[in-house]
Structure 1
Amino acid sequence: MIELVFATNNAHKLAEVQAIVGGSFTLKSLADIACTDDIPETGVTFQENAQQKTDYLVSKYGLYCFGDDSGMEVDALDLAPGVYSARYSGTRDMEQNINLVLTNLGDTTNRTARFKTVISLYYNEQQYFFEGSIEGDIIAERRGVDGFGYDPIFIPKGYSETFAEMTAAQKNAISHRAIAVQKLADFLKEQG
């Protein structure tokens, strides 16, 4: 069985990804390899940030690994918060980040947005990238209690529930991360 380190200690993300890939390979978190370092994320694109994570783990541990960077792009906010999604308000407090998005949107009628994920994989001495995105709209008030991040204010196109109102299985079937992770899983299965 293929063993990969996922460059995260976010239990939500780890559980989401493991649910998508099932038993096709074993995921380890940063904690599982005793990595307590604060891996830099100084890129200006999702791809740069994802690659920084894998480059760091390869240089320090030499392990097969993957890292991702995800965020929400709001058209009326010139694609903000983008790569700064986790710290849009200057903090990692998602309530404050959501409040700032809603405040900045104000009464804007253009509420189109998307979640985007880029995964950087280091495997067999090669670097690979997988991308997923899902279009939707930002609503004016939070709905739902599941999920994390901006899930309570994002309704994917074709649905009436926010990501936070969906079950994990429903979200994992359509999310940006699910799309990118499925591409990753399909690639790894082809590798044998």
Structure 2
Amino acid sequence: MKLVLASNNAKKLAELQALFTPLGIALVTQGSLGIPEAEEPYDSFVENALAKARHAARLSGLPALADDSGLSVEALGGAPGVRSARYALDAGGEKTDAANNERLLRELAGVADRRGRFVCALVAVRSADDPEPLIAMGRWAGQILAAPSGEGGFGYDPLMFIPAAGRSVADLSAAEKNAISHRALAATDLIDQFREVWRLG
């Protein structure tokens, strides 16, 4: 079954494709079909993921899968949240992982409470007007480091220390990350729904 992934992020595509391959799902990015990115005007991960999935399904005529994810930091009231990818841009900086990480470290300078979590909302729709979207959530808790560690991953991975793993997310191998990440947790939930509701696998 072919699903349009409402993202052009190659690393996200690779993570999700690895997770959904056992169900016979083949993901194709919306960009490869000439579909522009959707607006993300909402304050929650679920609402933005649903908007992106419906947008991709509407313009492709295919079932669609969307991911909206980011970092939620306790001491910052849940920020950067849905603005995770644009956190530095919102403060007049560049829209890059490095700039986002730098802003986060500035915001947390001198802050003792370093609790944070990666949050992922995955939404799948059979069509743009699907009245029963599949919605799955994953949360991965950790601590925000005072300096980056590791060369892998993307986004805030170098700053998120996972106590159970004893390393930052960027220090984990791709296989390790895919087994325990927020996206993996959401995908596990979504796989169950794919099997039960869409009768896949």
TM-score tier (shorter): over 0.9
1:104 corresponds to which residue? 107
When residues 107 and 92 of structure 1 are mapped into structure 2, their CA distance, relative to the original with a 3 A threshold, is: same
In structure 1, what is the Cα distance between the partners aligned to 2:63 and 2:55? 12
Deviations 1:55-101 (A, max 9, x none): 21233222100111000001011111000000101132111110111
2:154 corresponds to which residue? 148
User: Is the 1:138–1:153 contact (alpha carbons within 8 Å) kept by the matching residues of 2?
Assistant: yes
**What secondary structure is seen at the aligned counterpart in 2 of 1:80?**
coil
- Work out the percentage of aligned pairs sharing the same amino acid: 36
1:109 maps to a residue whose letter is A
Unaligned 5+ runs, structure 2: none
**What secondary structure is seen at the aligned counterpart in 1 of 2:161?**
strand
Unaligned 5+ runs, structure 1: none
Give matches, 1:6-45, under 5 Å: 6-24=5-23, 25-35=25-35, 37-45=36-44
Aligned residue-pair number? 190
**What secondary structure is seen at the aligned counterpart in 2 of 1:159?**
coil
1:114 corresponds to which residue? 117
In structure 2, what is the Cα distance between the partners aligned to 1:185 and 1:32? 24
Q: After the TM superposition, which segments of 4 or more aligned residues of structure 1 sit over 4 Å from their partners? A: none
2:155 maps to a residue whose letter is G
In structure 1, what is the Cα distance between the partners aligned to 2:65 and 2:194? 12
2:53 corresponds to which residue? 54
In structure 1, what is the Cα distance between the partners aligned to 2:150 and 2:119? 21
User: Is the 1:146–1:165 contact (alpha carbons within 8 Å) kept by the matching residues of 2?
Assistant: yes
User: Is the 2:141–2:162 contact (alpha carbons within 8 Å) kept by the matching residues of 1?
Assistant: yes
- Deviation of the 1:186 alpha carbon: 2.3
- Deviation of the 1:133 alpha carbon: 0.6
TM-score normalised to the size of structure 1? 0.94
In structure 2, what is the Cα distance between the partners aligned to 1:188 and 1:128? 8
**What secondary structure is seen at the aligned counterpart in 1 of 2:148?**
coil
In structure 1, what is the Cα distance between the partners aligned to 2:19 and 2:72? 24
2:194 corresponds to which residue? 188
- Deviation of the 1:23 alpha carbon: 3.7
**What secondary structure is seen at the aligned counterpart in 2 of 1:146?**
coil
In structure 2, what is the Cα distance between the partners aligned to 1:73 and 1:164? 17
**What secondary structure is seen at the aligned counterpart in 1 of 2:100?**
helix
TM-score normalised to the size of structure 2? 0.90
In structure 2, what is the Cα distance between the partners aligned to 1:158 and 1:151? 15
Deviations 1:114-163 (A, max 9, x none): 00000111027331211001110001010000000000010123121101
User: Is the 2:4–2:57 contact (alpha carbons within 8 Å) kept by the matching residues of 1?
Assistant: no
* CA RMSD in angstroms, aligned pairs only: 1.3
User: Is the 1:41–1:53 contact (alpha carbons within 8 Å) kept by the matching residues of 2?
Assistant: yes
In structure 2, what is the Cα distance between the partners aligned to 1:182 and 1:8? 20
